[in-house]
Structure 1
Amino acid sequence: MKTMQYDIGLTFGIDAAVGQFITGYEPGSQYVPSAEENYRFDKSVLRDLMVWWNMNLSGNNKDGMYLFGPTGAGKSAALVNFCALLNIPMYEKTIYEGMEFDVLMGRTEIVGGDTVFMYGVVPLAMGAENEPGILVLNEIDRADDAVLTGLYEVLAGRPLVLDAAGHHVVKPDNAFCFAATGNTNMAGASDDYSNANKQDLAFVDRFWKVSVGYPEKEVEMTILKSVVPDLSDELQEKMIDVANDIRSLHTEGENRIPLTMSTRTLLRWANMTKAYHGFSSAIDVSPIAYAMDRALLNVADRPTRAAIIEVAELHIGDAWASETTKATWTNGGNPLND
């Protein structure tokens, strides 16, 4: 694979960084993910990813990168879009309960009557097919001890011996990197993430630890504008205020609610509000409230539902009620940019 230099400012949309460069690859690998059109990087996370990647390529660092934070904060998306914009092959796998280490290594299959070993994500990322890149294991804090123990040698940069492939040895390419995502700081289960396991200190010690939170209000406004441009600026801002208050109710105080509103859920709510607006006469209710039910509230218990509706009514006001909303869609205060 041939490397090439990318202008950081032009590639990532940072005006102040125009004229500064970072190494990526020429286009062509089938393992490069597609960029998300409306994705916006958190500047701090992007800075960490660029420095980590650059240090790995230069041989000055072989630590893994661990991105952790609440559900829907954009941890995996940061890695996907980073790889997409720099044309870095990415090999992704989500950890699930009971998953065995061999799933990451590969499997044997019968092809044309012959037994063939098919590489898994780990040897592929290490360069087994001459396209090394970033290995991304999602939900790593749910992994069993056996899986993590098997990854020690990989993180240490040692050759990988594939027993199922006749003891075939895969040596890690200099471009091989290991990244992981999770909801916790690897310290074990919490009220919100009961399936998380406490990870061994020796494993945790092999990673950079980068906390990823929800986007700032200005960033979420930019995302909403690009995804649902028909919603008025005023309504978009109120929706973000609702989302931020729900997040606070989820994380702060003694009576925390069990639900939160991720950026993903916020976008779903906004998109559904726009879609249901077109059928407002048929559904005969507020499109904003109706969409909120289907985006989030229909899985809430009664106290949680009441708390979230109180927040929504506080920020959105009369537009939350069905009769007022139906009038608002058609008068001068239209929440949609029709």
Structure 2
Amino acid sequence: MEIIDTSAPIAVKDAKDVFETKSSFFDKMKTKIFPATHHTPAIKPYVFNETNLTRLILWAAAANLPADFFGAEMKRNMYVYGPTGCGKTRMAQAFAARTGRSLFRVQCSKETTLSDLFGSWKLCGKDQGMTWVYGKVCQWAMQANSILLLDEWDQVPADVAMGLNGILDGAPIHLDQTGEIIQIAQGCMIMATGNTNGRGSAGGQGGSAAIYKGTQKMNIANQDRFNVMFETYLSEEQEIALLVNLTKAPLLSAKAMASLAAKVRANFIGLNEDAGAGGMAFQFTITTRNVLNWAMNFNLLTQMGKKVEEAYIEALRMTVLDFAQKDEASAILATWSTIMGTPQTS
């Protein structure tokens, strides 16, 4: 594995410029920029809200504090939860991209093993024999000021999650298979994401385990090693701006699409919490990714000659709506007709 020296920043810039925020809270704040590697994500449009950006910057600052800065041991890991498709992974990627940090992403599931995370012996060719291949955790630990992103962390079995408690505490990695001891490099950071708050729900903010199959309740000892933030969908105003900027959607179209998405999400988030305790989970939502693709499909369909009214609905169906149950799809189309002021089209 190629290791680039990323232990020292190459620049210190104004946080407002780095994160493209207008919040006055960041007026006098500076942000370190590190040398990019091939693991550094590309910069893409992203809107940071003040609360979560504050927590991200604090998270990064904590990662570089001397061990004895406080008398007590400080948490240096972040758990981000929220409804599907709201941008949790994008937030980590955007933060890494703008600060030059390498990002090592692990897509977790109930099948994830410690070998997947740390590495294993693999046959790399008949002439090479068995070679130890480092997992993402070890790759991250060797690259200073990098981010380990554990996506869908609430899907991981408890024994696997507990196997990471050492690195969550900053302890060296002991590879029994090779006898190697890997010291975690300076400034390394860990973020885990999930749809629930680690206890099977989302604390009154949507995301019951009833609709997220396979989610696990996090062991309290594992959960105790994280700070936490809640992430949710963009506001209508933010999503309208994103649609106009990224898909060339006309302003009126963007407003209508963002309005429908907001109404569907309100039902999805509002009805899911504690659905298993007597309610029925609303199992459909429209993510930001889907709104953007709806707008792009609509654009192409109108260029192909579809009538505008038909193009809206066909694009919505092919993008996401045909995944929905029939009664939910009908309700969403009725809402769309109300927004557009037109009779419902089946």
- Flag whether TM exceeds 0.5 (same fold): yes
The letter of the residue matching 1:293 is R
Q: Which runs of 4+ in 1 moved over 6 A?
A: none
Q: What residue ranges of structure 2 are gaps of 5+ in the alignment?
A: 1-5, 201-207, 272-278
Q: 2:330 aligns with which of 297, 302, 306?
A: 306
Question: In 1, are the aligned partners of 2:144 and 2:185 still within 8 Å (CA)?
Answer: no
The letter of the residue matching 1:136 is L
The letter of the residue matching 1:139 is E
Q: 1:156 aligns with which of 169, 173, 190?
A: 169
The residue aligned with 1:175 is 187
When residues 156 and 174 of structure 1 are mapped into structure 2, their CA distance, relative to the original with a 3 A threshold, is same
Residue 187 in structure 1 maps to residue 199 in structure 2: yes
Q: Give the Cα separation in 2 of the matches to 1:289 and 1:48.
A: 39
Q: By how many angstroms is 1:280 displaced? A: 3.0
The two structures have a TM-score, normalised by structure 1, of: 0.87
Q: Give the Cα separation in 1 of the matches to 2:158 and 2:323.
A: 33
The residue aligned with 1:120 is 135
Q: Give the Cα separation in 1 of the matches to 2:330 and 2:157.
A: 38
Question: In 2, are the aligned partners of 1:249 and 1:256 still within 8 Å (CA)?
Answer: no
Q: Pairwise mapping of residues 77-92 of structure 1 onto structure 2 (< 5 A)? A: 77-92=90-105
Question: In 2, are the aligned partners of 1:235 and 1:316 still within 8 Å (CA)?
Answer: no
Residue 67 in structure 1 maps to residue 80 in structure 2: yes
Question: In 1, are the aligned partners of 2:334 and 2:344 still within 8 Å (CA)?
Answer: no
Residue 137 in structure 1 maps to residue 161 in structure 2: no
Q: Give the Cα separation in 2 of the matches to 1:240 and 1:284.
A: 17
The letter of the residue matching 1:43 is E
When residues 313 and 256 of structure 1 are mapped into structure 2, their CA distance, relative to the original with a 3 A threshold, is farther
Q: By how many angstroms is 1:284 displaced? A: 9.7
The residue aligned with 2:224 is 205
Q: Give the Cα separation in 1 of the matches to 2:280 and 2:159.
A: 37
Q: 1:49 aligns with which of 46, 49, 56?
A: 56
Residue 316 in structure 1 maps to residue 340 in structure 2: yes
The two structures have a TM-score, normalised by structure 2, of: 0.85
Q: When the two structures are aligned, how many residues end up with a matched partner?
A: 315
Q: 1:40 aligns with which of 44, 47, 52?
A: 47
Q: By how many angstroms is 1:126 displaced? A: 1.3
Q: Give the Cα separation in 2 of the matches to 1:6 and 1:105.
A: 34
Residue 24 in structure 1 maps to residue 33 in structure 2: yes
Q: Secondary structure at the match of 2:38?
A: coil
The residue aligned with 1:227 is 246
Q: What residue ranges of structure 1 are gaps of 5+ in the alignment?
A: 323-338
Deviations 1:277-308 (A, max 9, x none): 11234x89700011111112212222111111
Question: In 2, are the aligned partners of 1:23 and 1:54 still within 8 Å (CA)?
Answer: no
The letter of the residue matching 2:29 is Q
The letter of the residue matching 1:24 is I
Question: In 1, are the aligned partners of 2:80 and 2:230 still within 8 Å (CA)?
Answer: yes
Over aligned residues, Cα RMSD in angstroms? 2.1
The residue aligned with 1:275 is 300
Question: In 1, are the aligned partners of 2:52 and 2:229 still within 8 Å (CA)?
Answer: yes
Q: Secondary structure at the match of 1:289?
A: helix
The residue aligned with 2:267 is 249
The letter of the residue matching 2:234 is P
Q: Give the Cα separation in 1 of the matches to 2:130 and 2:81.
A: 40
Deviations 1:67-125 (A, max 9, x none): 10001100010000100111011111110222211111112233652543221111111
